[in-house]
Amino acid sequence: MTGVYPRLRPHGDSAIAVEFGDTIDADTNRRVIELERAVRTSNLPGVLECVPTYCSLLVHLDPLTAEHATLSATLVRLAHEVCAGAHVRAGKGRLWRVPVTYGGDHGEDLESLAARRGLSPERVVELHVRPVYRVYMVGFMPGFTYLGGLDPRLATPRRRTPRSSVPGSSVSIGGHQSAIGSVSGPSGWNLIGRTPVRCFHPRRDPVFLFEAGDTIVFEQIPAAQWDRLEAQSAAGETVAKCECR
Amino acid sequence: MPIKVVTAGIMTTIQDLGRPGYYHLGIPMGGAMDRLALRAANLLVGNDEGAAGLEAVFVGPELEFTEDSVVAVCGAELPPRIDGEEQPTWTALDVREGQVLSFGFLRFGARAYIAISGGINTPPALGSRSTYPIGSLGGVDGRAVRPDDILPLGQASGGAKPGTSVPVALRRLPGSDAELRVLPGLYWHRITEDSQNRFFDDTWKVANEADRMGYRFRGGQQLEFVPRKQPYSAGSNPSNITDACYPYGSIQVPNGAEPIVLHRDAVSGGGYFMLGTVISADMDLIGQLQPNTSTRFVKVDMDTALAARTIRAGILDEIRQSTA
């Protein structure tokens, strides 16, 4: 961390970004999430909501009630406290076990990605299920889950032409990031598999599963098991196993 | 007692003031694109400002009433008709049991807000009745209204005063050309100085891709990027960044070609750079722009943006007083 950070940058008149760095790393993201909790529990007047991203927290303001100068000063103070370790919380958070069927109809880019990386498809899967991933950010589409921790040997640029629609719950790789998709939507990422888990299900309690700061491990399952779990998932079961650590 | 949808127009959705609190999970704030118009319509019919009403784009629906109600239509100049007889906009109107509310042709603006005494009482989802089709949330089963839908109403407050109007001076009417004030943003430095100037000098036009997710503009010159070192993960396209949160009103320019101003149902984040943000005071106006409207982006500073929103808050207060 250099002396530049943390720093505040206005994002229009209704949002302020608090930046902790410009790289994807767990320490930076941890500070972002600690600040998010600190802001949330401080109930600051004019703050509508906070969105943790890879390296910054975006604080949304109610333009009619927020006092820009006062709020900025408070955010600077909290951000420095976070960097000084004042808001560290005990425990490692939640670990989710997420079943995935790789390749074929479930991940149509697995073979081409493997070829581009000079690996066999089996090796790609082996390298993809090995790490414990960190949820850096949730967003884009409802519940879309951005992960850090991808094995660098699997890093692959996004597709030159994005697809206008990819299946919901796709597991994909875009650059050094991996992600679990939610509802179907446009994407330029490489699809390597699909999970029966629904990050977002409007008629399930809980509606959402993953939050920034959670950790994820993938477990390969055969296509037949995917079909069975998908039916349970559609009916409102979470399917993913959660361990609190 | 409910109202019955006879015809639905092109795109008519139930909207309130939205569902803040879920942006960090990928759910945008949603709600009326012209918030002031929805508030005004609700105030005229004696509702809470944030009650759910209908947002009709370009073409109004036909609604059959099964009880005496008060309605108001604010925002776009989409003239309401009661049993065929034209009525004024921005005015509290009596509708009797059995009468049909329909609409004439759009005169200007893009979105009319229809408030009904008692408010639309469909089940809220994540704290709001606003329709968000991507997430199948709110509205009627997560979608826009269709013919034969039955829309339940809440209990009317009895506070409506039929005949009351919002004074013309307080109505914000889009002119033939639009000006949108912009605060340069986090990635402003990513384009060349020439492109920075051109962005504000050029006249843009609202494209056909203009909806609740965002408004696209075309007609200005291609933006040129400042060369940069390849950032970690962002990809080779110079308009890509490490994925970040997109605030409401932010302007992204995929490939430097066509700016998109994100609106209330926008994706909450992604990997395109944002060159700036339309000030909050001008966001309602975007919801009233028709495709092909000539638009200039005007560079302002934070003090101007804050002053503009104070003026907007003052107008809302005056509307409250004029309808009290």
Residues in chain B closer than 8 A to A176 (CB atoms): 232-233
Of all residues in chain B, the percent with pLDDT exceeding 90 is 82
Whether residue B236 lies within 8 A of chain A, CB to CB, comes out as yes
Same CATH fold assignment for domains A7-83 and A94-244 = no
A35-69 confidence digits (pLDDT tens): 999 999 999 999 989 999 989 999 998 877 778 88
User: Is residue A15 classed as helix, strand or coil in its secondary structure?
Assistant: strand
All domains of chain B in start order, with CATH: 3-170 (no CATH), 177-314 (2.40.100.10)
- Tens of pLDDT along B150-182? 999 999 998 898 999 999 999 987 777 999 999
Are the Cβ atoms of A182 and B233 closer than 8 angstroms?
Answer: no
CB contact under 8 A, A139 and B267: yes
Q: Provide the H-helix boundaries in A157-199.
A: none
| A interface test, pick of B25, B267, B299 with most A CB neighbours within 10 Å | B25
Nearest CA distance, A65 vs chain B (angstrom): 9
Nearest-10 Cα torsion for B200, B287, B253, A21: 100
Q: Pseudo-torsion of CA A52, A58, A61, A66, nearest 10°?
A: 110
* Half-sphere exposure at residue B260, Cβ-oriented, CA atoms within 13 angstroms: 23
Q: Does the distance separating the beta carbons of A12 and B236 come in below 8 Å? A: no
- Measuring CA to CA, which residue among A187, A168, A144 is closest to residue A230? A168
- Name the DSSP class of A215: E
pLDDT at A92: 67
Mean pLDDT of all residues belonging to chain B = 93
Which secondary structure element, helix H or strand E, spans residue B71, and what is its range? strand B69-77
Name chain A contacts of B279, Cβ cutoff 8 Å: 12-13
Q: Say if the Cβ atoms of A12 and B280 lie within 8 Å.
A: yes
Chain B, nearest residue to A8 by Cα: B186
Span of A83-97, A210-224, B198-212, B276-290 with lowest mean pLDDT? A83-97
- Decide yes or no: CATH 1.10.1060.10 for domain A7-83: no
Please, which residues bridge with residue A15 across strands?
Answer: A60
Closest CA to B183 of B299, B283, B272: B299
- Return the biggest CA–CA distance within chain B: 68
The secondary structure of chain B in percent helix, strand, coil, rounded to multiples of 5, reads 20, 35, 45
| Residue A1 confidence (pLDDT) | 42
Q: Which residues numbered 244-273 in B keep a CB inside 8 Å of some CB on A?
A: 244-245, 247-250, 267-271
Mean pLDDT score, A122-137:
96
A245 band by pLDDT with thresholds 50, 70 and 90: low
Is B247 in contact with A138 (Cβ distance < 8 A)?
A: no
Cβ of A144 within 8 Å of Cβ of B26? The answer is: yes
Q: Which CATH architecture describes the domain A94-244? A: Beta Barrel (2.40)
Residue B234 has pLDDT above 60, yes or no: no
Measured CA to CA, the distance from residue A37 to residue A44 in angstroms comes to 12
Q: Where are the domains of chain A?
A: 7-83, 94-244
